Structures are given as structure tokens and as C-alpha cells.
């Protein structure tokens, strides 16, 4: 336990001193506020431009009524990008250590590789949790402030789906980090898996089992789709996450550092 | 048990390239063991095999009588390791890094602070309380020794600890190694032969994946030591007198070498003055 604690402390110090934590939290906040802000400003923007547009012969653009749903639609439109920012920032967590050889010192001192992996996993999960809380929280607060959020169904549930997708991505990224040796390899691996999921998502019979379905949580908001329709996806996501981590441990233990 | 380290018939290739070809040698306890070979001779590979970082194709390695297994690091508890270019987390300060090491090696909590101070003083980093990012190579090498010795290992393995350093840094490192050899067995690899002569008790020369020569440094001295010596005189006058004496005695000199300038000595003097 002392080893894991010490390594978590090291990882956390890295988050703070390299400013990674601050950057991801600022990005989380900005991307969270952006969605309701865009929803709020779009009609104003169009109104101010009506005259200019009319002069150019463009008339009759109708900006529909903006509600809390519009704000959330905006939010979920950008959510994939947010997950991507997280992946790009943390894809180097293992590979920088491989390349610089910093882990050799730690391993040769008798720390088990599984504990190294566990510590990194814990810290990444904590950072993702904080980042997503800030991201979703800021979007939520602004949306509730400007509009009536009571018309939105499954609001929190939809948010939790994104959170779970993030956890799954961390699992995939960890596996990629144990297989690959460079930052780019990890990004390609993670991106590749997500891309394959998206491709399979087109096949209607397979679509319900694809973790990327979690990203489309916006369909929950209108109430047309029920949370229980996500059961298969959640089971597959959980099972593949556990498999990814188990595979990571097996590979990492034999990896040449 | 006399040997702390025993290497028996170890083979290792990377792809087609044969690095170690039946390597065998023993390292006696409480000695400074010089491991000499050309660049690429397999010194680092041997060390990584000892640490269980590489898997041997064949053969066995024993530390304190325990077999080294690849990927597991049971035997590493006896070893302190200084890699050729030690890399640390640049955002940490030396004491913070040593604390991380202390926690990983399970040094009793009440002893950690004292031990860290002791190590920092020993390697002369006690006043450098800044992030490792700003460290010079020599400072990193010294911190490397501190982390390697932190847990008071029975065996210290140093991979070319002096190769990348300036003469002053080299001398510091060699002095530290000599000092710790009182309670720790030191193995160090190098291609700088004068370093070996300076501090080693035993030497093994690695060539073509095997030990080409293995023995005591006294033996090395005996081999040529009876027939040659280096003399240094206080003045030119004295030197001429000595040479005259040789001449008048009709002594045959096979080889005479004049050192026109002792650059190393000059370098040490100049920078010695600066730091004093």
C-alpha cells in the first residue's frame, strides 16, 4: 500500500507541477460554458445580423425557440471533442516514462509493475472525474440559470453515460500504452478502436452493443429513448473495460522497459 | 557464501546479433569490481540481465545464492542500480525523489528523513534544493548514486558512471564509489581504464560476449609492474639529474615517454581554485 501511495503522490505531483491538471480543468470549464453560451447567443447574433442579411437578400431564416434542450444538444455535439482532448493530454503518461527510462529506477527498486499500472489508473480516473464534473457541472449550472431544465428528461443519466464512456476510453488508452511505445502509437490505438466502434455502429444489429452509443446520450433528453435501452451497451462497456485492464496488466508485466 | 553475484554460462542475442556468448564470472563480496569492455561489448546488457530487465536466452544468474528471474524483482532488493544516464522526474526536487524511492523500497518510516539527508550530504547535493530539471549531468549522476545507495544495498551496480563526466565530476564519483565499497560490493562498467586502476580490486574484461580476462588488480600490476614506473619530478633540473644518473649507470631504457603537459592536472588545478 505504501508503494501505491507513494507512486500516486508522484503522479499527482506531476499533474500539478506540469500544469496538466490546471489545463484540463480550464478546458473543461470553457467547453462546459460554451454550449449554453452558444445556445443563448445564436438568436441574438442572428437578430443583430438580420438587416445585413436582408441587404444581401437573405431573408426568412427562422431561429427556432431556444430551450434547455437546445443548450444540451450543443453540449453533446462537442462532447466527443472533450474526450479527445483528455486522451491527447494523457496518451503520454506511460510512453514518456518508457522513452526517458524513468520507470526503470522504480521497477528495479522492487515496485511491482501491476502497482505502477494501478497507481496511474487511479490518478487518471480521479482527473477524469474532476474534469467531467467541472465540464458537466458548468454546462448544467448555466443551462438551469437561463432556461427551464424541467423539460429535459434523463438529464443526469445522459451525463453519467458520457462519464462512463470516458472511463472506458481510459481503459483502452491504458491497453494502448502497454502495447505501444510512443505517444502516437497510443493515440492511433485508442482512435482506431473508437473508429472501429463507430463503423460497426452503422450495423443496426450491432449498434446497441457499441460503447460509442454512450456518446449519443442526447437522444435520452427528449424522453423518446429510455435509460433501460442502454443496458446492453453498459454491460459491453463494463466487460470490455475490465478486459482492457486485465490485458494491460498481462502485457505490462512482460514489457521490456 | 563468498560470491555476492554468480553468472553462469549466460547467452543473449538480440535478433541475429549475438551479444553474450557463454558469459561466466563471479563477484566476490566487499570488493570493487571493474567490468571493462569496448562500447557495445555487452556491459549494459549484462547489467540489465542481472536486474531482471532482460531475459537470458540460456544460463543462470544468482545474487546472494538466489536465482534472478525475468520480470520479477525479488533479487533486486539486494541491488542498488545506477543506469548509464540516470533519468528522474524533472519536476521533483532531489529530496522528494529520494522520498519516493524510500517509500518504494520500504525503508522504515522513522528512518527515512535521516537516510535522505545522509545520502544528500554524501553526494554533496544537500544545498541543491531545486527541481531536477535544472541539474547538470554530474549532479544527476550524483543523485543517481544517492538513490542507488538509499536502501543500503549489498550490491551496487553502476553502468558507466564516469563516462559522460568531466575530470572533476569523474573524480568525485570515483571517490564516492571507493568510500561506499567499505560496506557495499560495487560493480562498475567502464571503458576508461585509468578509472579501473584507480579504485578496483578485481577486473573482468569482456570481449566477444565472453570474459577474456578476469583477475585481481594486483595481478595486473605484477604483469608489467616490475619493469616500468612513472616518475614525476619537482623541477626540470631534478629530472635531468635523474636521467644523467641512469646514463652514468649504463641502464637500458626500453621506452621513455615525456609528458609535456599534464592537462588533467592543470584542469583540476584551475577549477579547483574556482570552487575553493
Do B23 and B9 touch, CB atoms closer than 8 A?
yes
Check CB contact under 8 Å for B103 and A5: yes
Query: Which residues on A lie below 8 Å from B101 (Cβ)?
Result: 105, 109
Q: Are strands B202-207 and B185-190 parallel, antiparallel or unpaired?
A: unpaired
The answer for residues whose C-beta is within 8 angstroms of residue A107's C-beta and 6 or more apart is A113, A116, A257, B53, B73
Asked whether residue B69 is assigned to any structural domain, the reply reads yes
In whole angstroms, what separates CA B45 from the centre of its chain? 16
A85: left (phi over 0), alpha (psi -120 to 50) or beta: alpha
CA pair distance B216, A45, nearest whole angstrom = 87
Which of the residues B56, B89, B92, B148 would you substitute to probe the A interface, choosing the one with the greatest number of A C-beta atoms within 10 Å? B89
Single pTM value for the model:
0.83
Q: Which residues are paired to B155 by β-bridges?
A: B79, B185
From A136's Cα to the closest Cα of chain B, the distance in A is: 31
**Between B213 and B158, the higher pLDDT residue:** B158
Measured between alpha carbons, how far is A187 from A107 in angstroms, rounded to an integer? 25
Residue B272 inside a domain? The answer is no
- Is B157 contained in some domain? yes
**Which residue, A149, A102, A93, is CA-closest to A121?**
A93
Residues B164/B182, Cβ–Cβ less than 8 Å: no
Measure the CA–CA gap between B56 and A186, rounded to whole angstroms.
Answer: 29
Predicted pLDDT at A158: 94
Here the ipTM equals: 0.87
> Does A3 contact B147 at a Cβ distance shorter than 8 Å?
no
Q: Tell whether the torsion through CA atoms of A220, A226, A232 and A234 is positive or negative.
A: positive
The pLDDT of residue A110 is above 90: no
Residue B262 inside a domain? The answer is: no
Q: Are B8 and B30 in contact (CB under 8 A)?
A: no
**In the block, residue with C-alpha cell 551479444:** B19
Q: What is the pLDDT of residue B212?
A: 85
Domain assignment of residue B148, yes or no: yes
pLDDT digits (tens, 9 = 90+) for B161-204: 888 788 888 888 888 888 888 889 999 898 888 888 888 899 88
SS3 of residue B71 by DSSP: coil
% of chain A exceeding 90 in pLDDT: 70
With respect to residue B249, please indicate whether it lies within any of the assigned structural domains: no
**Cα distance between residue B191 and residue B204, in whole Å:** 12
pLDDT band at B275 (very low <50, low <70, confident <90, very high): very low
* B154, B4 contact by CB (below 8 A): yes
Question: For residue A161, is pLDDT > 80?
Answer: yes
Beta carbons of A3 and B73 less than 8 Å apart: no
- The whole-angstrom separation of Cα A174 and Cα A89 is 13
Contact A181, A98 (CB under 8 A): yes
Q: Best interface-test mutation with A: which of B14, B79, B87, B104 has the largest number of A CBs within 10 A? A: B104
Question: If you write DSSP's letter for every residue of B110-144 in order, what string do you get?
Answer: HHHHHHHHHHHHHHT-TT--S-GGG--HHHHHHHH
Q: What is the pLDDT of residues B103-128, one digit of tens each?
A: 999 899 999 999 999 999 988 898 88
3-state SS, residue A181: coil
From the number of C-beta atoms within 10 Å of its C-beta (0-12, 13-18, 19+), residue A125 rates as middle
Residue A156: per-residue pLDDT: 93
Q: Is residue B194 a part of any domain in this protein?
A: yes
**Residue for grid cell 563471479:** B26
Cβ separation of B73 and A2 shorter than 8 Å? no
Q: Give the nearest chain A residue to B108 (CA atoms).
A: A2
Assigned domain for B65 exists: yes
Give the pLDDT confidence of B14-33 residue by residue, as tens digits.
988 899 999 999 999 888 99
Read off φ and ψ for residue A110, nearest 5 degrees: 100, 10
Shortest CA distance to B38 belongs to which of B189, B180, B181, B143? B189
- Name all contacts of A16-24 with Cβ < 8 Å and 24+ positions apart: A17/B91, A17/B92, A17/B131, A18/B91, A20/A89, A20/A127, A21/A127, A21/A130, A23/A89, A24/A85, A24/A86, A24/A89, A24/A127, A24/A131
For residue B148, name the pLDDT band (cuts at 50, 70, 90).
Answer: very high
Asked whether the predicted pLDDT for residue A255 surpasses 90, the reply is no
Strand order in the sheet with B58-63: B17-28, B3-14, B58-63, B66-67
pLDDT at B261 over 80: no
Task: Give CA–CA dist A57/A29, Å, rounded.
Answer: 39
Three-state SS sequence of A125-171: HHHHHHHHHHHHHHHHHHHHHHCCHHHCCCHHHHHHHHHHHHHHHHH
Q: Check residue B29 and report its DSSP letter.
A: T
Chain B contacts of A95, Cβ < 8 Å?
none
A108 to chain B: closest CA residue:
B76
User: What does the alpha-carbon distance between residue B29 and residue B186 come to, in Å, rounded to a whole number?
Assistant: 9
How far, in Å, CA of A217 to CA of A234, rounded? 12
Range of the domain at B175: 3-217
Domains: count for chain B: 1
Give the one of B71, B92, B104 whose C-beta lies nearest to A13's C-beta: B92
Domain of B113, CATH number, reads 3.40.50.300
- Which residues of chain B make contact with A253, given a CB cutoff of 8 A? 71
Say what the pLDDT of residue B47 is: 92
Amino acid at each position: 500500500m505504501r508503494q501505491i501511495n507513494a507512486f500516486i503522490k508522484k503522479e499527482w505531483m506531476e499533474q500539478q507541477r506540469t500544469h496538466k491538471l490546471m489545463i484540463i480543468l480550464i478546458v473543461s470549464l470553457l467547453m462546459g460554458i460554451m454550449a449554453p453560451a452558444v445556445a443563448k447567443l445564436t438568436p441574438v447574433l442572428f437578430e443583430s445580423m438580420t438587416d445585413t442579411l436582408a441587404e444581401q437578400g437573405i431573408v426568412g431564416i427562422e431561429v427556432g425557440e431556444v430551450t434547455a434542450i437546445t443548450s444540451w444538444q450543443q453540449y453533446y455535439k462537442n462532447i466527443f471533442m472533450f474526450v479527445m482532448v483528455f486522451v491527447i493530454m494523457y496518451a503520454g503518461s506511460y510512453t514518456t516514462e518508457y522513452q526517458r527510462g524513468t520507470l526503470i529506477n522504480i521497477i528495479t527498486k522492487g515496485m511491482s509493475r501491476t502497482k505502477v499500472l494501478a497507481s496511474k489508473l487511479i490518478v487518471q480516473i480521479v482527473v477524469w472525474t474532476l474534469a467531467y464534473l467541472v465540464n458537466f457541472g458548468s454546462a448544467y449550472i448555466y443551462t438551469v440559470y437561463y432556461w427551464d431544465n424541467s423539460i429535459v428528461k434523463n438529464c443526469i443519466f445522459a451525463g453519467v453515460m458520457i462519464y462512463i464512456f470516458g472511463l472506458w476510453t481510459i481503459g483502452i488508452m491504458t491497453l494502448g500504452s502497454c502495447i505501444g511505445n510512443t505517444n502516437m502509437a497510443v493515440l492511433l490505438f485508442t482512435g482506431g478502436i473508437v473508429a472501429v466502434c463507430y463503423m460497426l455502429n452503422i450495423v443496426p444489429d450491432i449498434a446497441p452493443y457499441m460503447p460509442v452509443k454512450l456518446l449519443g446520450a442526447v437522444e435520452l433528453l427528449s424522453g423518446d429513448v429510455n435509460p433501460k435501452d442502454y443496458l446492453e451497451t453498459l454491460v459491453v462497456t463494463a466487460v470490455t473495460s475490465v478486459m482492457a485492464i486485465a490485458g494491460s496488466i498481462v502485457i505490462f508485466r512482460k514489457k521490456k522497459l | 557464501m563468498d560470491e555476492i553475484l554468480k553468472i553462469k554460462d549466460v547467452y543473449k542475442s538480440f535478433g541475429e546479433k549475438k551479444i553474450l556468448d557463454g558469459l561466466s564470472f563471479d563477484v566476490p563480496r566487499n570488493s570493487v569490481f571493474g567490468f571493462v569492455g569496448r562500447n557495445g561489448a555487452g556491459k549494459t546488457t549484462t547489467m540489465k540481465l542481472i536486474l531482471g530487465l532482460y531475459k537470458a536466452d540460456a544460463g543462470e544468474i544468482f545474487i546472494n545464492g538466489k536465482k534472478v528471474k525475468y520480470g520479477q524483482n525479488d533479487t533486486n532488493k539486494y541491488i542498488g542500480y545506477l543506469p548509464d544516464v540516470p533519468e528522474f522526474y524533472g519536476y521533483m526536487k532531489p529530496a522528494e525523489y529520494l522520498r519516493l524511492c524510500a517509500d518504494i523500497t520500504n525503508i522504515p518510516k522513522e528512518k527515512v528523513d535521516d537516510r535522505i539527508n545522509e545520502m544528500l550530504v554524501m553526494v554533496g547535493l544537500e544545498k541543491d534544493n531545486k527541481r531536477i530539471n535544472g541539474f547538470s549531468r554530474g549532479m544527476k549522476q550524483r543523485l543517481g548514486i544517492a538513490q542507488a545507495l538509499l536502501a543500503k544495498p549489498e550490491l551496487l551496480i553502476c553502468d558507466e558512471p564516469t563516462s559522460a563526466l568531466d575530470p572533476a565530476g569523474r573524480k568525485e564519483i570515483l571517490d564516492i564509489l571507493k568510500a561506499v565499497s567499505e560496506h557495499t560490493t560495487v560493480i562498475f562498467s567502464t571503458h576508461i581504464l585509468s578509472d579501473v586502476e584507480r579504485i578496483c580490486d578485481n577486473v573482468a574484461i569482456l570481449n566477444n560476449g565472453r570474459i577474456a580476462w578476469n583477475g585481481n588488480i594486483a595481478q595486473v600490476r605484477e604483469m608489467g609492474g616490475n619493469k616500468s614506473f612513472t616518475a614525476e619530478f619537482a623541477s626540470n633540473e631534478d629530472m635531468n639529474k635523474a636521467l644523467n644518473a641512469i646514463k652514468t649507470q649504463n641502464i637500458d631504457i626500453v621506452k621513455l615517454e615525456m609528458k609535456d603537459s599534464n592537462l588533467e592536472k592543470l584542469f583540476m588545478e584551475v577549477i579547483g581554485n574556482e570552487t575553493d
